[in-house]
Each structure stands twice: as C-alpha cells, then as structure tokens.
Structure 1
Amino acid sequence: MKRSTIVAAAGAVTLLAASPAAAINTYNAQPAPERTEVGAYLALWDTTGDGVPDRFDWRCSGTMVDDDTFLTAAHCTDGSPAGTRTFVSLEEDVQSLLDEHADLTPSAQADLFLANGWVVEGDPHQDARYPGPASDTADLAVVDFAGRDVTPADVWDFTPATLPTAGQLDRVGGTTLARAPWTVVGYGTAEAQNGPGGHTHPGGGVRLKASEGFNALTKSWVRLSINESKGYGGACYGDSGGPNFVTVDGQQVLGGTTITGDVPCKATNVVYRLDTAPARAFLTPFVTLR
C-alpha cells in the first residue's frame, strides 16, 4: 500500500474526495501551524487522455529541505501523464482554497493559485532506482525549484528541515530511538471509517501532526506505531512523502518519509530512511548534506 491519495477501493482505483476536516487521523492529532517547512504536493493533469487538464488537486505531502528543494515520495510523481504540471503549497489549509474556487476549471484554478501565491510551480525528479525491491524501494523524489524564477522561499517564511547525517539512526541505535519523540506531519486523510459500501477515508488537505512510537529499524526502513491506545496518531493516504521527525543527539532531524503502512491506517507507519547511502546519493545533486 502506498499512501498517496490514489487508493484501491472496491476493486477500483479511486481518487479520494477531500474536505477540510481531519487529516493524519482523527485521534491524537493536532493542527501544525508551526511546521511551515511541511507542504502539500499538488498537480494539474489530464485524466482522460484528451490533452486537456481536468484535475487540479493535492496528491501527497513533503518537506522543504533547503530553500529550493521539496522532498517527497517517488510514487507521488511516478507515472504522471505527459504534460502534468507540478506544484508545492506551504499553506496550512489547501483543501479550503480548492473548495472555495471549485467553480473554476482546473487550469484556471492552477493559474489563480499561482497568482495568489498559494502554490509555486517546480520540476519533479525521482530516484532512478524506483521501484526497487521491497527491501529498498528507492521511493524518493524531489520537486526542484532551482531553475524557476519563483521558489517557495520567495513566497513563504520557513526554516528547512534538518536531514540526518550518514548512518545517524544506526549510530543512535534502536534503544535510544525507542525513547526518542517521533512526530509525523502531513496533509493526508483520516483513518478508515465504516459506512455504507465499506471503508472510506475522509478529510485531508490540511496540515496536521501526531506523535508516533518506535517499533523497529531496518536497513532502509523505520517502522513506527500509530496505536491509538498508546496515545499515538499516525499517517494515512495523502501523507506519503511527508516527514517523520525524531529528536536525537539534542536535535530534531527528518528521520524519514512516510511511504506505506496498514490499509486502515490504525497500526503502523512505514518510513523510508534518509540517512542511508542510497538515499543520500539521490539527494546529493539537490541538497548540501551534512
């Protein structure tokens, strides 16, 4: 399961309808106005193949890791139709803006968002190794603004997230990581809700945060608990590419990006590590690493 907003439901692939309600999940989650480095990944694309864009919407989450680089997941950018345009917004509530201007055509919506400084257009690049094996899917991408006249730093005030040093999570070790505070941030939908016809995942498009618990560290992944009974929250659809922060060595770092988890979004968040050699090799052309 990949946590973009495109999910399998009732045997079909459906783009979830979103409304300005809960994201991340409905339990143990809070607004995150202070996480100004965390944003939404949006796209304008053609779903019918007639060459006319007919959808402008948020797809995933991500993080500014310097003034002109937005880190997200490769499965958010992969397979986009020819002519797809890519945008990033650091607005706290993207969905309300979309709802307010739903009477416009998708192209007109995108133009309005650009004119009002609600999004900035960039260039997506994904890890050439994607999709790799389950042990290391190489599920990383960036939206790069280095070649653009306007960058997110020209529009919003934010401090880029701090990436980990090489092998930092291994050096810290599982015992310390289990005691460290973990925080997930994103724009995704809520956990599964029962209703007529089965499960739905309401909400999304609003930046929220929640605490998580550490489960395990592997060569490429961090497994985090989102168990409600333990006071944790967690990620769901649309949180893909978003950050999972951990405080280690007295500093909060972006330990990994949300990639997958359990289908109802009630147990586990599986996070792609950013301190490994393959992850750092992908990031090196875009970001100055510590």
Structure 2
Amino acid sequence: MTSLRATAVTAAACAAVIATATTSSAINSYNATPAPERTEVGALVATWDNDGNPATPDRVDWVCSGTMIDADTFLTAAHCTTDWPENVRFYVSLDQDVQAGLDAAAERHPGDPAAQARAVAVEGTAHNHPGYPGPASDTRDISVVQLPAEKVKSRWSFTPATLPTADQLGALGPRGLNSTDWVVAGYGTQEAARGPGGHTHPGGGVRMKAPVTFDALNDAWVRLAMTAPQGNGGACYGDSGGPNFATLGGKRVLAATTITGDGPCYATNVVYRLDTPGARAFLAPFVKLP
C-alpha cells in the first residue's frame, strides 16, 4: 500500500496523481495483503470542477483513506479536505475495491460524476481542524467527515475503530512502542516503480494492509519504519488519513493517521498521534473519547 505522502502536496494534486494510477493492489506491494476484514477503513471520494464551470462537477475520484470512528464519523487528514475548488463535495466508501466500483459506475453513468460517486459512496460534510496548517511540530493535519448514519448502515456493516486513551502512546514510551505490533491500512498506490518515463506509483483504490515497526515518538508524531528487509510494508500516495493500528493491551487501537513520508514510499511513514491533547480536543465534539 502506498500512502498519500503529502504534507506539502495539496489534495487536488494528490487526486491528479491517483487519477493516473492503474487498478491493482496497493499499499507497498512488498509484504502487503488485502484487508477485506478491515471494514471500518474507507476511501475518501471527491467530486469537483475541473473546467472552469462550477455549476456542475466534472471530475470524480477517490483521493485519500480514513477510518470510521463511530456510526457517522469518518476520520481522515486535513490536507485531504482542503485546497479544493469551491464546489467540491466529499463522499465516503467502505467498499473493498473502490476503484473497480468507480470504473463500473462510469460505464453506467457516463458524464455524471455525482451519480458515479453516489454509486460507491455516501456523501458527507468535512470539518477540518481550525488550526490547520500548524507548525511542523504539530501541523494539526486532522479532519472528519460527518455522514448520515442510517445511509452508511444500510450499505455497510462495520465496527468503529477504537481510539487511544489520553497520552496512551506517551505513557508506553519508545521502549513499549518498540515491542508493539503495528499495521497500516489504506487504499493508496504502490512504492515507486522505475519505467521509461521515470518513477511512477502504480495501483491504488483497493483496501490493503501491511506491517510496520516503531521508529520514533514525538509530541504530535510517530515515525514508523516500512523497510522491506525487516518484513515491513508501508503507506504511499492515497493512504493519507488512513489508520495506523497498534495492538495495545491486547486491543487493536487506532493510534495514528498517515500524513507523510519519503517520496518513493520505501522507508518511513510519518503518522499523526490521536492520543494528544490537541487531537482529542478536535475530536471531542464529534465522537465519544475513551
């Protein structure tokens, strides 16, 4: 799986990258497997104007990853839901293969991006952290999409992810986190592949998972190693906002969300902690915190 490595990449630019990808499995192709059981993990889908006529959308694509944290709240990254044309509309899909769904919908609804989006996803309203973008020490790169719970329930069955308790990662510290099992999930592209035209990032649009290992802990960030020789996979373009699960006290916890990393998607996944006072303060109006 490969993640949207993108603190400096706008959501629109990420969408452009994804639109050129072929349909195949994603997240780093090494040490990655499909994740049909991770039904709480979804894709952020957007429709937007691309021809200067904002009256109607003329583009649709999946653009990021994310996670359902209760019946009507989808957690993702703020850079996924900002810097769009004014008429952007956001949807969430919990399908295992959202790219195949969009391809099929394009055949059924040619020239109608809104209908294509509705065929695979449920429309919602994005709420970005008001302090985004913040300083490098804490960019506040977090957002949620509020969804109509009944519509989501009528289409998919899932158990919302468990959020961490206050300072749960900090209390464990590097030593405890180093012995913790970590898994990243998302819909992103694969690591860089060399070709006649230079580096490309194939794949994307399919929910995948891969093991990662702890590297470093900062006030707002966790750095996770995605190096293949150690048995790791990792995240890449399209995985931004997606979950990084840690097994803490025998429970799978949504510890952090993918934000950025190295450009080729070979080495490091930099993820935003969800146990910090800032992240919890942002999430509190939308979800019951543990």
Letter in 2 for 1:95: Q
Q: Partners in 1 of 2:226 and 2:178 — Cα distance?
A: 14
Q: Partners in 1 of 2:199 and 2:26 — Cα distance?
A: 16
Aligned pairs (5 A) from 1:274-289: 274-289=274-289
Q: Partners in 1 of 2:172 and 2:109 — Cα distance?
A: 50
Q: Partners in 1 of 2:18 and 2:30 — Cα distance?
A: 23
Q: Provide structure 1 residue ranges, at least 5 long, that are not aligned to the other structure.
A: none
Whether 2:123 is the aligned partner of 1:121: answer yes
Question: Which position in structure 2 is the counterpart of 1:215?
Answer: 215
Whether 2:52 is the aligned partner of 1:49: answer yes
Whether contact under 8 Å (2:58, 2:112) holds in the other structure is no
Question: Which position in structure 2 is the counterpart of 1:66?
Answer: 70
Q: Partners in 2 of 1:90 and 1:107 — Cα distance?
A: 24
Whether contact under 8 Å (1:184, 1:245) holds in the other structure is yes
SS in 1 for 2:84: coil
2:82 to 49, 58, 78: 78
Residue 85 (structure 1) shift: 1.1
Whether contact under 8 Å (2:165, 2:289) holds in the other structure is yes
- Hey, which of these two has a bigger chunk of helix by percent? 2
Query: What is the alpha-carbon root mean square deviation over aligned residues?
Result: 1.9
Count, aligned residues? 282
SS in 2 for 1:189: coil
* Pair 149,30 (structure 1): closer, same or farther in 2 beyond 3 Å: closer
Letter in 2 for 1:126: N
Residue 169 (structure 1) shift: 0.3
Q: Partners in 1 of 2:106 and 2:273 — Cα distance?
A: 37
Letter in 2 for 1:135: S
Residue 43 (structure 1) shift: 0.5
Q: Partners in 2 of 1:170 and 1:142 — Cα distance?
A: 24
Whether contact under 8 Å (2:47, 2:113) holds in the other structure is no
Question: Which position in structure 2 is the counterpart of 1:164?
Answer: 164
Residue 15 (structure 1) shift: 4.9
Residue 34 (structure 1) shift: 0.3
Alignment TM-score, normalising by the size of structure 1:
0.92
Question: Which position in structure 2 is the counterpart of 1:18?
Answer: 21
